[in-house]
Structure 1
């Protein structure tokens, strides 16, 4: 028999199945599943994934809200240095008892069990930065070596020679 994922919760044992108004908090740390990543950064499989969630029973199903926290590791896109970025993602998902016709995006409760892995995967992967950098506040500078001094005098202007030609034409 296949081992049940640690992301699957039995709603009957939690006392939430068919009891609108009931709720339960889940604060736990799980091992991150595979493929929580994009090209240059991601959460490594097996690394800690902290869940602080609330399961609320409503008439249509179970509403799950809270946060998922992890540490993403990857490469700085400018320097290719190794970086670590904390990831804190809000989860707000409705798990329905029955999927409406034409609704392919809803998460469905299957055999009184709720699987958090797809919702967590969607939220974490979407929160990963497309172009991660070590210091997001630092602006990239093309200056190498000493900073150049800027002189606003007219003679240094690329249009100074054109202006002198125009002045010569006016005089003649």
Structure 2
């Protein structure tokens, strides 16, 4: 595992390692890691991430469930105005003691420690809207051009000859 971060939990000190049926709640606020974003919106590094999680020991590993809340900031794709969206994501991940052969998607418990950062990153980034816009209840206003009044006669129009051909076809 990389350097120790605030997203890493020591399962031995929590009393969960190898004790199926035991559980512990974790309600805390952590600083958001870097790159928790997509092109137009994201959670800024260092902004608060509220975690309300339950760690449950099972025979295969640790089941982590709960929610992660944050505020994403970016641009409205229609107006390019600054926008803030609350993000509330459910987490339901199984951290295994040993990864099964051919299973590259599972999160693994490494040296009695569980790192929540990859699971939180996956959940939050996947929850970010691809085309963020203001809440649908807010009215989107736009300017519509006014109808132009045409003063020129139809004979002066560049489409006059096409119109006459169309009229001839209708008569025949």
TM-score band w.r.t. shorter chain: 0.7 to 0.9
Superposed CA deviations along residues 24-69 of structure 1, whole A, max 9, x for unmatched, are 0000000000000000000000000000000000000000000000
Secondary structure in structure 1 of the residue aligned to 2:98: coil
Aligned residues: 172
Cα displacement (A) at 1:115: 0.1
Cα displacement (A) at 1:4: 1.4
Distance 1:164 1:70, change over 3 A: same
Moved more, 135-144 or 92-101: 135-144
Cα displacement (A) at 1:134: 1.1
Secondary structure in structure 1 of the residue aligned to 2:100: coil
Q: C-alpha root-mean-square deviation of aligned residues, in Å?
A: 4.7
State how far apart, in whole Å, the 2-side matches of 1:27 and 1:112 are: 21
Superposed CA deviations along residues 79-98 of structure 1, whole A, max 9, x for unmatched, are 00000000000000000000
Distance 1:136 1:97, change over 3 A: same
State how far apart, in whole Å, the 1-side matches of 2:57 and 2:39 are: 37
Cα displacement (A) at 1:21: 0.1
Distance 1:101 1:72, change over 3 A: same
Report the TM-score when normalising by structure 1: 0.81
- Runs of at least 5 residues in structure 1 that lack an aligned partner in the other structure: none
State how far apart, in whole Å, the 2-side matches of 1:112 and 1:151 are: 83
**Equivalent position of 2:156 in the other structure:** 156
Cα displacement (A) at 1:22: 0.1
Report the TM-score when normalising by structure 2: 0.81
